Structure 1
Amino acid sequence: MKKFAVWFGQGILYAALATVIVVFSRWPAYQNLAADRALIKISISHQGQLLGDCVELTPQELAKLPPNMRAPKSCPRERSPLTVEVDVDGQLAHRQVAKPSGLSGDGAAVVYRRLEVPAGKHHIEVRMKDNARSEGFDYTRSEEIDLAPAEILVVDFDAATRRIILL
């Protein structure tokens, strides 16, 4: 009889747990976007250009260094910050200056942002600058996009082809 009570108690406990799982899998209802909205995701991870030029070391400067540190060139590690601007229908929707990661500022800068927009046709212009020593933006892309409801447009940068891509 005692074994039956234990099994019965376990069955009640499992039934209660299953009920909780079923209830929370259906309620509350989650909706990622409103029915008439679309999403633009800016997701860029990119290393900016080096902030300085490499310098040839003189024989006197090399002699001052320990033997294992005697490289003929001294190159800075710091990289330029990444500046990204996104215009939607001629209005500035997002502007960010991302600092490079890493203790020495020599890693990739990361930009991530979600922009909700009404579904429909939009003129998207993306500008990116990865060189602090140059004027203006180094990369631009402008395109007419027709976004369906709940569609997601991803803005990224392809380092191999050196261009902004819209997926």
Structure 2
Amino acid sequence: MAAARRRFEWPLQAALYTAFMALVALLSTAPAWQALPPGTAVVTVTLLHHGQRVEPCRPYTAEELARLPPNMRAPQKCGRERVPVLVELDIDGVNVMRESAPPAGLSRDGASSLYRRVQLTAGEHRLTVRMKDAPGDPFNHTREATVKLAPAQVLVIDFDNAKGITLS
């Protein structure tokens, strides 16, 4: 009985491996999948940025300095909490995104992060990006541009402290 079983083990194992490989080959080509519909482009807004402090730094008073240990006597007292970063995106005059990215961390003192994708038809579009990272009402960073997007093109909108809002 054991000899008969051994005689069929290798052919049965080969048949099962062949069936598995055929299934993998079929599934790798059979369902046609497209990342984007034809004639569509993507605008991606990505951001990792520290907003400004909620309260400005101020000098310590003489009493406050006297209460601090000598190794902790800094010239100014600065709060840790930062402002949430607000980003707006208008495409062809229509607001398509308004996102507020809160600062990370338990003390709300980390960087704000944001990642959003907007699909639109390929072609020429007028983009307006506004960002607010300071306390107060007005947006303190703005960028307007006319871009021509090819089908399946991805346009990335980012922020760089030295350059401001960048499109690439």
* Alpha-carbon shift at residue 14 of structure 1 (Å): 1.6
Give the 3-state SS of the residue equivalent to 1:60 in structure 2: helix
Structure 2 residue ranges without an equivalent (≥5): none
Post-superposition Cα deviations, 1:33-58, rounded to whole Å, max 9, x if no partner, equal 11111111111111111111222223
- Number of positions where the alignment pairs a residue of Structure 1 with one of Structure 2: 165
Partner of 1:116: 119
Q: In 1, Cα distance between the equivalents of 2:41 and 2:128? A: 17
Q: Which moved more, 1:136-145 or 1:14-23?
A: 14-23
Partner of 1:137: 139
Do structure 1's residue 98 and structure 2's residue 101 form an aligned pair? Answer: yes
Q: In 1, Cα distance between the equivalents of 2:110 and 2:7? A: 63
Q: In 2, Cα distance between the equivalents of 1:103 and 1:9? A: 59
Q: In 2, Cα distance between the equivalents of 1:54 and 1:80? A: 14
Q: In 1, Cα distance between the equivalents of 2:10 and 2:80? A: 66
Partner of 1:48: 51
Q: In 1, Cα distance between the equivalents of 2:75 and 2:101? A: 32
Q: Please report the TM-score for the alignment, with normalisation by the length of structure 1.
A: 0.90
Do structure 1's residue 65 and structure 2's residue 80 form an aligned pair? Answer: no
Give the 3-state SS of the residue equivalent to 2:33 in structure 1: coil
Give the 3-state SS of the residue equivalent to 1:150 in structure 2: coil
Matches within 5 A, 1:16-95: 16-95=19-98
* Alpha-carbon shift at residue 4 of structure 1 (Å): 4.2
* Alpha-carbon shift at residue 27 of structure 1 (Å): 2.7
Partner of 1:126: 129
Over the aligned positions, Cα root-mean-square deviation in angstroms equals 1.7
* Alpha-carbon shift at residue 68 of structure 1 (Å): 4.4
Report the identity percentage.
Answer: 43
Letter of the structure 2 residue corresponding to residue 164 of structure 1 = I
Give the 3-state SS of the residue equivalent to 1:13 in structure 2: helix
